Amino acid sequence: MGQDPETAGQDPESGGQDPEEAAERLRARRSAALRAARRVLWQPSHQHTVRERLARLNDGAEGVYDLDRPVDMYGGQIVETLEERVAGLLGKEAAAFFPTGTMAQQVALRCWAGRTGNPTVALHALGHPEVHERQAFSQVSGLRPVRVTDEPRLPTAQEVRDFEEPFGALLLELPLRDAGFVLPSWEELSEVVE
């Protein structure tokens, strides 16, 4: 039996629509559902306009912080309030806000390496600092990377234990994004860090 020339090459699941049009309609429906949701666990940043993002920030700010206070510059006010609230929620004495994960990661690596007195950081060759940060932690923090493995998986506990060079800190990127978002099991992770 021959195909109808009007529907030839179309996905039967798409209800007779062109596959590209069907995909675009699906994206639009999902975007509308995300925009209409009052709460979600995560939203891609490209789903909202600048106006919508600012409105959401403004709507959620009342009662959290006095919006008539001056903007926080280099500590105090907003950042201190945030740090105090987070420390309280976590049951800790203090918390530190970092504007980027890269900055927080460099500080954590520097602290851990500093505790051992060894500026060498063992990490995966596909780790974010190696692939995407242009050796920033070497240049900024004086840390020296050594690569435990370049296999498309996280280093094993045996590889870490048998690594030929002493290191002051071990960086495990979870998930290891550039290897395909690889995550270890809890048991594998525990074995590596023990």
Q: What's the chain's average pLDDT?
A: 84
- Whether the pLDDT of residue 2 is over 90: the answer is no
Nearest to 143 by CA among 162, 167, 165: 167
> How do residues 165-185 score in pLDDT, each as one tens digit?
999 999 999 999 999 989 999
CB atoms within 10 A of CB 56: 12
Does 105 share its domain with 178?
Answer: yes
Q: Is the pLDDT of residue 100 over 70?
A: yes
Alpha-carbon distance 172 to 186, whole Å? 13
How many whole angstroms separate alpha carbon 29 and alpha carbon 22? 10
- 175: cis peptide before it, omega within 30°? yes
* 12 is a domain residue: no
Q: Are residues 52 and 130 in the same domain?
A: no
Residue 10 — very low, low, confident or very high, per pLDDT cuts 50/70/90?
A: very low
Backbone φ and ψ of 144, nearest 5°: -120, 120
In this structure, are 112 and 52 located in the same domain? no
The answer to whether residue 75 is domain-embedded is yes
Q: Tell me, yes or no, whether 156 lies in a domain.
A: yes
- Whether the CB-CB separation of 190 and 157 falls below 8 Å is answered with no
Task: Report the 10 Å Cβ neighbour count for 86.
Answer: 14
Q: In this predicted structure, what is the pLDDT of residue 7?
A: 47
Which domain CATH number covers 174?
3.40.640.10
Same domain, 117 and 160: yes
Entry field: residues in the chain: 194
Q: Read off the pLDDT of each residue in 36-54 and give the average, rounded to a whole number.
A: 76
Q: Are residues 145 and 181 in the same domain?
A: yes
Does some domain include residue 69?
yes
Per the structure, the complete domain to which residue 184 belongs is given by 101-193
pLDDT band at 125; cut points 50, 70, 90? very high
Domain count, the chain: 3
Tell me the percentage of the chain whose pLDDT exceeds 70.
86
Q: Are both 115 and 37 inside the same structural domain?
A: no
pLDDT band of 28, cuts 50, 70, 90: confident
pLDDT of 71 higher than 90? no
